[in-house]
Structure 1
């Protein structure tokens, strides 16, 4: 990306006695002609560059001049435009502040870099909630977020669980729904923010565990929850196509099994655990003719009835 190259040229020249066009071209893996075009663009944007021909010459910056980029590359400046992804900053009450920060950041860039840095903002929109769903009520999110960021205890009223004092550790936005991750009496749990009926930020400071990783904890928690639902054992035979589509039908965690070798016609047999027989029927129906239920018999018969009804309806 050209913006990344322009930034790198400035950073390579800052604090040095300059470089030749050939040295810059070799370092950036472009032609000397491209280097001169980039230097012209930087000069037009107000960067005080000058060139000197002959032995000992080269491309230099005005002595003592420094950019405002603090070492950031063009890709990094573009990534910063993702700060305040639509909805997230607004939910946290930081929409105006984020917009102001983005504007100041753009103003600090030379003109050629601003257009490229703005690309992500202009061409990417994240619609977090799923289809046919309205955004979740953020409830007491502002108070919860303040407790998380300030590292203070939080007293909440949480439905039938009543009132409890938590040690906030982080916030997670999942499909448009906010969750508070907090420690309560030594146990780390998640709380749906929309179900918090009251929230008061306390003055007591929270001691955050040094080794706590919010992203890793959330991933482990989701996987553990998924596994806890898988209580219905069944044995299946799947074609190669059915085996490939299995994670789409039953979910990644349920499909995390190793089938045995294929039989004479290329089908695989293995044991699986799903949520309930009703859920299993719904999920396996999506695999159509690429699945055969071996056990239990009740599920096998239910799947046959569905297939018979579909065939009769479409006769």
Structure 2
């Protein structure tokens, strides 16, 4: 309805000479609706709704409703419907902000579903967003003292240090591409994966080398800057801890992290090897490995060599960087 009004008034203003364009927008993003659980009794032929807080709900391990009863024990039916006061499934955003904070509420709404899809409201999801933000806080608190020390990347970094920098720049690429295509749930998933990588770094701050401190600082700074569009208040606070001042991102000249293709590039990729279409082994090879090299590595694998021994090789299908399939007979 709003789009109809927008287009109508644009064309009215065009016809009377106030504007010179025909359409009000160049790119339209239609947001999905927020829906919620409803509980009702329809034995009389008309739905009589009960507010969720007055319903005794039983759920399975995945959170799916298995049974719902009124306070007096009467069985109720349940559904997922558009939020409405008459159905009793509305949620007061002010109350959510008061309980969980604006950043956690926003993060949950962005993460729970693609923006063009319906969002099924689930308060447990906000609790998950709170835990994620708290985890980022703890990581920064763990490393903040040693990150203030000078640190530069080493000429020859260790494997785990290269892996963290690789994950950081792969995340920058993924988040940048997703934001440009107006996907907001996938960037948050990528930031959660980067958080896991930092947590699993496996080095105590007090024992970290200069190269390791540099990698962690780059990862944490990038994480916080990419978190800014989704949780601006928390991101500002954490950034002030990382820099050791309260001037804020703008005053400190903060910029969205830049992707480095060289650092994001994997040292080796795992390639499945199939025999007659069935997965039999895996090999690790350079991303630039030629088809002939991949084929030779597949045949050199002990498991594959045993499976194809004494059989006629009809053909070998190589999908560069993805798959080797050996077709045999006999």
TM-score (norm 2): 0.27
Structure number with the bigger relative contact order (C-alpha 8 A, sep ≥ 6) is 2
Q: Which of the pair has more CA radius of gyration?
A: 1
What TM-score do you get using the length of structure 1 for normalisation? 0.28
> Comparing both structures, which one devotes a greater share of its residues to strand?
1
